[in-house]
């Protein structure tokens, strides 16, 4: 954890800078320019970065039989279940939660909650390998439900990931059905139509 903590602080500071810039600009949550990302997860033309937050939490995996295997030939493997993370501002304060669906909710009284009240749900539409070894992929998700679905809020990026990959330990019949919570951090960037 000692190697991850400085990186988490950097991600929290970047997300906080975004929120502070947004607050200084009035009600519009205009944020810092987006990081360079692969074309596979780039926000569509006409969308601009509105909110960026740091996330700190876990990716949950379960040891299960491979789907679609014939009876008696199923080989267990680690299957992704859900994320579970806290969304943080620059001071490390909780501003929301991220969970299964995937979904994001922002706490009342935060600039993000004012812009995106309620629960935002996304579906993966793009994927790129993380530049950092041992990190979960970077993603682009389109908003499937929630405030802005089909309207102003268009897409979400997961970038700057650290950790979160399925366990390296074997998944076999001795651990079948067990769940493992793997720590991860990431930045989530919310884009909206101009």
147-176 per-position pLDDT tens digit: 655 556 789 999 999 999 999 999 988 898
Query: For 28-50, what is the mean pLDDT?
Result: 74
Which one is predicted more confidently, 16 or 147? 147
Least confidently predicted of 49-53, 83-87, 88-92, 170-174: 88-92
Least confidently predicted of 34-38, 64-68, 69-73: 69-73
pLDDT score recorded for residue 8: 41
Query: For 84-113, what is the mean pLDDT?
Result: 89
What are the φ and ψ backbone dihedral angles of 22, each rounded to 5 degrees?
-65, -45
Q: Is 86 exposed, middle or buried (0-12, 13-18, 19+ CB in 10 A)?
A: middle
Identify the CA nearest to 110 among candidates 33, 30, 22: 22
Identify the CA nearest to 90 among candidates 160, 15, 7: 15
pLDDT score recorded for residue 24: 33
pLDDT score recorded for residue 32: 41
pLDDT score recorded for residue 10: 44
What are the φ and ψ backbone dihedral angles of 19, each rounded to 5 degrees?
-65, -40
Question: Do the beta carbons of residue 171 and residue 59 sit within 8 Å?
Answer: no
- pLDDT-based confidence at residue 12 (cuts at 50, 70, 90): very low
C-alpha span between 56 and 59 (Å, rounded): 10
- pLDDT-based confidence at residue 145 (cuts at 50, 70, 90): confident
Query: For 91-119, what is the mean pLDDT?
Result: 87
pLDDT score recorded for residue 111: 78
- pLDDT-based confidence at residue 9 (cuts at 50, 70, 90): very low
């Amino acid at each position: 954890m000692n190697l991850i903590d400085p990186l988490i602080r950097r991600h929290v500071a970047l997300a906080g800078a975004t929120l502070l810039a947004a607050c200084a600009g009035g009600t519009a949550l205009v944020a810092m320019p987006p990081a360079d990302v692969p074309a596979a997860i780039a926000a569509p033309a006409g969308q601009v970065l509105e909110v960026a937050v740091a996330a700190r939490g876990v990716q949950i995996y379960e040891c299960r039989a491979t789907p679609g295997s014939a009876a008696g030939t199923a080989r267990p493997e680690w299957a992704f279940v859900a994320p579970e993370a806290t969304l943080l501002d620059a001071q490390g304060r909780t501003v929301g939660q991220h969970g299964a669906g995937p979904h994001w909710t922002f706490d009342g009284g935060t600039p993000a909650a004012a812009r995106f009240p309620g629960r935002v749900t996304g579906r993966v539409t793009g994927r790129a390998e993380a530049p950092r070894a041992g990190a979960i992929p970077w993603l682009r998700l389109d908003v499937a439900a929630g405030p802005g679905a089909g309207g102003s809020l268009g897409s979400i990026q997961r970038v700057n990931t650290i950790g979160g990959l399925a366990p390296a330990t074997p998944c076999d019949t001795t651990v079948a059905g067990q769940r493992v919570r793997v720590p991860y951090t990431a930045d989530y960037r919310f884009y909206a139509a101009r």
